Amino acid sequence: MFSRYKKQPSAQPVETPPPAAAPATAPAETANTTAVARKPIKKKVAEVVGNDKERKRKERLGEIKLELHRELLENLNLAALEKADEAELRTEISAISSEVLEARNIVLNREDRTQLNKELYDEVTGLGPLETLLQDDTVNDILVNGPQQIFVERSGKLEISDITFKDEKHLMRIIDKIVSAVGRRVDESNPYVDARLADGSRFNAMVPPIAVDGSLVSIRKFKKDKLGIDDLVNFGAFTEEMAAYLQAAVSTRLNIIVSGGTGSGKTTTLNALSSFIDDAERILTIEDTAELQLQQTHVGRMESRPPNVEGKGEVSPRDCLKNALRMRPDRIIVGETRGAEVIDMLQAMNTGHDGSMTTIHANSARDGISRLENMIAMAGIEMPIKAVRSQISSAVNLLVQASRLQDGSRRMTSITEITGMEGDVISMQEIFKFQRVGLTPDNKIIGHFTATGVRSHYSERFRLWGFDLPSSIYDPTTM
């Protein structure tokens, strides 16, 4: 039963993180140089973008491409295009482009020609310049700030890419293509839109005049393989001991809220936690954008729907949740709680759907509680604050904090239990936390995970359910 925590703490000491003494040397070093040593200011983006000659070449290619694109649209039978297979279409595009280049007396080397044909193909069938980034598996997020600036996120770090759009019109055309494919519209009177791409990636766009310097686009790419518990332990997101604790918490059906900022790894954590759910249980998931990838057999997935262009047809997360309660779930997982559905979520947690989970946007466990209180107030529920808090404290057992630290690493910075009420206040106890101790010269965070020394409020429950955690797990000196 107790499969996670295999290490015998006495026989085999748990791997110890760098001792707290390490950072003590860093300040000593700076003290030796000058009294006030400022760090060099980071390079401006423009200096990194590339040299002039390369840019001119790109510009020229861009102009040729635009011209060719117009030509292609005139010459290709767009209706037939949908049925054409890829090889056929590529041949066709390359034939037309050769013709045009020849007619205009433009000579390109083989590399540029291949590149040009690829870009034309992407323009005609896909999302133009974005296509390369969408296909690049190392890219997690794509952030477009107007036509000339595209940033990408790779392993937690933002970097500028050398890909650009020709101009705002070009960018708008691609945005239009994306949103019209999902039956939405974006224009001056409807300046922003949230949508899901065919591959599951999440797409958001905001266009001028609300976006001042050109359209803003953000794409969170759909990860085909979500990170599992073992991956996260290997990446240092949390420790094996914390994983063992979380396994006990999920298996014994504690109600869990994962809290964190945008992109902090909430969904990833929720997904990983769900792997501890027994395969025999019926799980219903509710999300804005279906991202979770549960491994269990018995899973019913729901995706809420925003209103359409005419403002009709909305199916809110709350609608889904209300209906889910009539569908005999063992557990309910709500991708993110951000509105009125909080009422039904807490009710579900309180009324027999133990082991339910969700995420919220908050910066700490305490902040998470205030968020819940705010959401309840915003939903128009008039209840004395004490009643609201007692509702929260009896519904939620555990708050898990996900954070994206300044060096781009994502860590579970705190695991906190809710233990009840003391007067008007919800009482909580932290069990594990990430202890930050310093910064390396190249700005990597130094720190380690530690138990706080507080024994779980649920230890007896864990034991009764067969997840008897050794007491060393709560010992701050063994981690």
- The residues of the shown chain that bind Mg ion, judged by CB under 5 A, are 266-267
Nearer to Mg ion, 267 or 391 (CB): 267
Q: Taking CB within 5 to 8 Å according to partner kind, which of Mg ion, ligand ADP, none is near residue 268?
A: ligand ADP
Tokens in use for 410?
A: 């994502």
264 binds, among Mg ion, ligand ADP, none (CB under 5 to 8 A by kind): ligand ADP
Answer whether 133's CB lies under 8 Å from 113's CB. no
Matching residue, tokens 């992407």: 122
Q: Which does 113 bind (CB under 5 to 8 A by kind): ligand ADP, Mg ion, none?
A: none
Residues at the site binding ligand ADP, with contacts judged by CB under 6 A: 140, 223, 227, 232, 235, 237, 260, 262-268, 410
Whether residue 7 contacts residue 479, with contact meaning beta carbons closer than 8 Å, is answered with no
Q: Which is nearer to Mg ion, 124 or 294 (CB)?
A: 294
* H or E segment and range at residue 374: helix 365-378
CA 450 to chain centre: 26
Q: Quote the Cα angle for 87-111-125, to 5°.
A: 35
Comparison of 240 and 288: residue with beta carbon closer to Mg ion: 288
User: Which option in ligand ADP, Mg ion, none does residue 140 bind, with CB closer than 5 to 8 A by kind?
Assistant: ligand ADP
| Closest distance of CB 257 from Mg ion, Å | 13
Complex with ligand ADP: residue 4 or 226, whichever CB lies closer: 226
CB of residue 382 to Mg ion, shortest distance in Å: 31
> Residue 441's Cα: distance from chain center in Å?
28
Least Cα distance to 263 among 156, 134, 363 occurs for: 156
Nearer to ligand ADP, 401 or 416 (CB): 401
The Cα–Cα gap between 149 and 161 comes to 8
From the CB of 154, what's the least distance to ligand ADP, in Å?
10
Angle between helices 341-350 and 317-324 (to 10 degrees): 20
- In the bound state with ligand ADP, the residue whose beta carbon lies nearer, of 93 and 237, is 237
- Beta carbon nearer to ligand ADP, 232 or 392: 232
Q: Output the residue with the shortest Cβ distance to Mg ion.
A: 267
The residues pairing with 217 across neighbouring beta strands, listed in sequence order, are 144, 205
Partner that binds at residue 318, options Mg ion, ligand ADP, none, CB closer than 5 to 8 Å by kind: none
Residue with the CB atom nearest ligand ADP in the bound state: 265
CB of 207 to ligand ADP, least distance (A): 24
Q: Which does 223 bind (CB under 5 to 8 A by kind): Mg ion, ligand ADP, none?
A: ligand ADP
State the DSSP string of 19-50: PTTHHHHHHHHHHHS-SS-PPPPPPPHHHHS-
Q: How far apart are CA 57 and CA 61, in angstroms?
A: 6
Q: How far is the CB of 93 from ligand ADP (least distance, A)?
A: 33
Q: d(Cα 240, Cα 8) in Å, to the nearest integer?
A: 12
